């Protein structure tokens, strides 16, 4: 795996729609494996978190968050991406760590294909079946760039804020030790409950959902 380097670091104050605010050190990188413009946001006292981790203490809290224009920006209720992003910003700020914003929309198939998949879901397919029906993989995301960014800032040990076991598996193979997998909250609505149940049953996401009525 090619070593990435920090290209630029800038301070960006953040404010979410519910009024919560924090400050991020936003970093860009050279030599990322896929050539995309991924971001790493240092939140809270991330430098202290790295120092503690290097001394054998608790590792920094990290969430790799895949871009979701519909959920993150427009507040789509078809997924839980927007609420997860908001939750991650606050939890990582409190504990010190990193939010990775990964440009892999629609589990890696792109925005237009994701919307095509939504149309197929409206016809009865689940989120994974819809991707396959489009001739795409169930989940095309690759976390090589995420590992490159983490290693570039010295985060070779992390606590992973995610319900997705594949993220932990991929990062571990890429040289980032996941000392703990920390689940996110469950952000369920009438519009996304089927989607969340499919993630829990099909790809073993650790999501505790209410029993179906």
Catalytic site residue 139?
A: yes
Whether 148 and 31 have beta carbons less than 8 Å apart is answered as yes
- From the candidates 141, 142, 156, 166, give the one annotated as an active-site residue: 141
Q: Confirm or deny that 84 is annotated as ligand binding.
A: yes
Using CA atoms, how far apart are residues 9 and 28, in angstroms rounded to an integer? 7
Q: Confirm or deny that 167 is annotated as ligand binding.
A: yes
- Confidence class for position 212, pLDDT limits 50, 70, 90: very low
Q: Write out pLDDT tens, residues 164-193.
A: 999 999 999 999 999 999 999 876 666 566
- From the candidates 72, 80, 139, 159, give the one annotated as an active-site residue: 139
In this prediction the pTM is: 0.89
Q: What is the pLDDT of residue 61?
A: 99
Q: Confirm or deny that 106 is annotated as ligand binding.
A: yes
Using CA atoms, how far apart are residues 193 and 11, in angstroms rounded to an integer? 37
Q: Confirm or deny that 63 is annotated as ligand binding.
A: yes
For 156: left if phi > 0, alpha if psi spans -120 to 50, otherwise beta; the answer is alpha
Structure token pair of residue 193: 């409950």
Closest CA to 160 of 146, 145, 148: 146
Whether 118 and 164 have beta carbons less than 8 Å apart is answered as no
Q: What is the pLDDT of residue 52?
A: 97
Q: Confirm or deny that 67 is annotated as ligand binding.
A: yes
Q: Confirm or deny that 199 is annotated as ligand binding.
A: no
Q: Is the pLDDT of residue 210 over 70?
A: no
Domain boundaries, the chain: 5-104+141-202
Q: What is the pLDDT of residue 198?
A: 67
- Confidence class for position 64, pLDDT limits 50, 70, 90: very high
Q: Confirm or deny that 107 is annotated as ligand binding.
A: yes
Q: Which CATH number fits domain 5-104+141-202: 1.10.10.10, 3.40.50.10990, 3.20.20.80, 1.10.3720.10?
A: 3.40.50.10990
Distance linking the first and last C-alpha atoms of the chain: 48
Q: Write out pLDDT tens, residues 80-93.
A: 899 999 999 999 99
Q: What is the mean pLDDT of the chain?
A: 91
Sheet (strand 177-182) strand order: 5-15, 21-30, 39-43, 97-102, 61-66, 157-161, 177-182
């Amino acid at each position: 795996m090619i070593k990435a380097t920090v290209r630029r670091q800038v301070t960006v104050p953040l404010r979410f729609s519910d009024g919560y605010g924090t400050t991020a050190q936003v970093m860009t990188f050279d030599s990322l494996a896929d050539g995309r413009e991924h971001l790493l946001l240092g939140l809270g006292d991330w430098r202290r978190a790295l120092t503690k981790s290097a001394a054998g203490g608790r590792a920094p809290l990290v969430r790799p968050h895949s871009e979701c224009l519909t959920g993150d920006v427009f507040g789509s209720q078809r997924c839980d991406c927007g609420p997860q992003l908001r939750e991650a910003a606050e939890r990582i700020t409190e504990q010190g760590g990193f939010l990775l914003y990964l440009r892999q929309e629609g589990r890696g198939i792109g925005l237009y294909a994701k919307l095509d998949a939504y149309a197929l879901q409206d016809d009865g397919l689940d989120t994974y079946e819809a991707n396959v029906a489009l001739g795409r993989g169930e989940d095309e995301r690759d976390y090589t760039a995420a590992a490159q960014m983490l290693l570039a800032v010295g985060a070779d040990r992390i606590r992973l804020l995610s319900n997705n076991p594949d993220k932990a598996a991929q990062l571990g193979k890429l040289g980032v030790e996941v000392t703990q997998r920390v689940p996110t909250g469950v952000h369920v609505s009438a519009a996304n409950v089927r989607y969340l149940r499919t993630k829990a049953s099909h790809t073993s996401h650790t999501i505790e959902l209410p029993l179906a009525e």
